[in-house]
């Protein structure tokens, strides 16, 4: 199989390039192709003629998206449509990385793939609108929603917590948002499996289990061998520009249909901490 990865320099992209070893994979960053330029996207993909395109390129700074909505929509929605239209012209399959932010967070049980989109942030809206347009332009595309991504090679929650805990006696962490931390390595392996299984439609891909950011931080500090006190606070106390879903746990049923299982987030965190050391 020949695949092209758009967004190869990001946290997920780096993990995908390391993990995807049995196929011919070309990784491209924003320096190689600007997904906002439809002609450039078309030219690159026509020349490469991949069987699969994995679109991991995105504007992912959730808070910055609130103050730059036009840019967020241009990259996350319109850029995705450019890739989908090019994929359609060359007969390639597309896997698009989406987010738990397409939901409003008002449920108290895991979100299923068919649950209503109701994004509360600009970032969430950009991903939700991309999903709708992609399914119209390329009905057999695969949309892989994930959440709380962490991994080596870039900025992420565990890395921030470990750095802060090394220099502070106590940390305040939000305890009223619940989701599933997802390790870039495990997400990469699931994406590769979805491509090899010719997946289509919406699939939820996260590590198993769920926690609050506070509980996640406690495990990070403990796993890092630090003694910093982690204190629970409310989202209101730690107000951010972009609203976060209070509950965004994603059901794994859609992924299990492809025979793909993902380890628990606790197991993933242990492996991340080990990888970070080395």
CA angle 276/154/247 to nearest 5° reads: 95
Residue 139 Rama label (left phi>0; alpha psi -120 to 50; beta): alpha
Q: For residues 10 and 188, give the distance between their C-alpha atoms in angstroms, rounded to a whole number.
A: 12
The kind and range of the H/E element at 27 are strand 24-28
Q: For residues 112 and 115, give the distance between their C-alpha atoms in angstroms, rounded to a whole number.
A: 5
Q: For residues 176 and 9, give the distance between their C-alpha atoms in angstroms, rounded to a whole number.
A: 32
The kind and range of the H/E element at 86 are helix 80-90
User: Among 101, 111, 123, 247, which one carries the catalytic annotation?
Assistant: 123
Active site residue 123: yes
CA angle 47/48/53 to nearest 5° reads: 130
CA angle 101/182/253 to nearest 5° reads: 75
Neighbours of 223 (CB within 10 A): 16
What token pair was written down for 136?
């119209």
From the number of C-beta atoms within 10 Å of its C-beta (0-12, 13-18, 19+), residue 237 rates as exposed
Catalytic residue list: 123
């Amino acid at each position: 199989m020949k695949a092209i990865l758009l967004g190869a320099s990001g946290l997920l992209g780096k993990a995908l390039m390391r993990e995807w070893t049995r196929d011919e994979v070309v990784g491209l960053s924003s320096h190689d192709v600007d997904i906002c330029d439809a002609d450039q996207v078309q030219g690159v993909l026509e020349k490469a003629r991949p069987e699969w395109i994995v679109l991991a390129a995105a504007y992912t700074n959730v808070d910055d998206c609130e103050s730059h909505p036009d840019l967020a929509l241009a990259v996350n929605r319109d850029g995705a449509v450019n890739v989908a239209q090019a994929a359609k012209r060359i007969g390639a399959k597309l896997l698009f990385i989406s987010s738990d932010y397409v939901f409003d967070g008002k449920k108290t049980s895991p979100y299923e793939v068919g649950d209503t989109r109701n994004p509360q942030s600009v970032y969430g809206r950009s991903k939700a609108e991309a999903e709708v347009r992609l399914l119209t332009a390329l009905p057999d595309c695969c949309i892989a929603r994930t959440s709380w991504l962490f991994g080596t090679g870039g900025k992420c929650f565990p890395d921030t917590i470990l750095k802060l805990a090394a220099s502070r006696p106590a940390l305040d962490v939000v305890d009223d948002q619940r989701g599933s931390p997802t390790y870039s390595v495990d997400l990469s392996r699931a994406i590769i499996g979805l491509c090899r299984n010719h997946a289509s439609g919406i699939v939820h891909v996260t590590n198993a289990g769920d926690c609050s950011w506070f509980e996640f931080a406690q495990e990070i500090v403990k796993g890092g061998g630090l003694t910093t006190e982690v204190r629970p606070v409310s989202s209101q106390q730690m107000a951010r520009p972009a609203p976060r879903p209070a509950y965004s746990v994603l059901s794994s049923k859609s992924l299990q249909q492809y025979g793909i299982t993902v380890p628990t987030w606790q197991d993933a965190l242990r492996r991340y901490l080990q990888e970070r050391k080395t």
